[in-house]
Amino acid sequence: MITAPGCAEVQAVPAPVAAPGEVVVDVRRAGICGTDVELFTGEMAYVLSGVATYPLRIGHEWMGVVSELGDGVDPAWTGRRVTADTMLGCGRCRRCRRGAQHVCAHRGELGARDGRPGALAEKVAVPVTALHALPDTVDDAAGALVEPGGNALRAVRGARLAEGDRCLILGAGTIGLLCAQFARATGAETHVADRREGALDVARDLGIEGVWSADALPDLPWDAVIDASNDPSVPARALGLVEPGGRIVCIGLAGSPSLIDTRDLALADVAAVGVLSASPGLAGTIEAFAAGTVDPRPLVAATVSLEDLPAVLAGTRPEGSGPGPKIHVRMDEPGR
């Protein structure tokens, strides 16, 4: 539980109960992302706007096994390995009826907004309609990376890459590196740029074709540029780099406004795409992970216990961590 900005602790809380149409899942593994850290520091937009208040249980990248069913739930879900959508729409509004529950004005967000405790716990309750079954070919580590994978897949879909296109991804964190793998799977020539040498080393280990310092990019025509950073200057840079008629995709979120000149956008006939949420990309991500066309597991640097998590949120890198950007928590046994 995050009890206040900069304060987190493990607490005993009442076990969730499956309401009608819901299930309870025994969580096996969950990931920590930048949103969780911003909720911890108090800098996240939801805290500033008041839709997330303390105490708050975080956790929206996760997987587990269905253990309890509410009324009206198909018994076939019992014992299934699953993950679930983070965005839980009202189910009644125009957006939800059109399949866009991830932008429902009245949505809940697991572990990010009030009303839906997150999955950094031994058990979590979710609507059965949010569940996605995991095949045996997607192990627990990959299963807990489906949510960030869905965001990355949507970013790559937004770039509309074709075989032979050249794509530049600015930012080599978890989302950027997953974008690079999905982009490569389309047959596009894929490049990644970052200012952190350690992040670039991970991109090289993944076999990404072009790996560059963000300050020393080659002079190449870029058919699509994906901003997967948290730098407010990057969207404008992406617009300056992309080819006329190309596409820029913004999936990274900065802590302050990003400014672009819409005259440059219009006069170059560039399309700009924003991506919120993994929701429409979850099924496709599971398919890619199951087929092995994208393997997210090298991104996991360490797996820790729940008791280790407050220190991780405060910025402590677990001892013995690998080079990847992602920290996982295991609920079923001590961290290792």
Per-10-residue mean pLDDT of the chain, 336 residues long, equals: 96 96 98 94 92 95 98 98 96 95 94 93 97 98 98 98 97 98 98 96 97 96 97 97 98 91 97 96 98 98 95 95 96 57
Which residue reads 């995050």 in tokens?
2
pLDDT at 30: 98
The pTM of this model reads 0.95
pLDDT at 333: 59
Q: In order of start, what are the domains of the chain with their CATH numbers?
A: 2-145+296-330 (3.90.180.10), 160-274 (3.40.50.720)
Q: How far is CA 45 from CA 39, 51, 175, 310, in A?
A: 9, 9, 19, 21
Yes or no: say if 175 and 252 are a contact pair by the CB < 8 Å rule. Answer: yes
- Burial class of residue 158 (count of CB atoms within 10 Å of its CB; 0-12, 13-18, 19+): buried
pLDDT at 334: 46
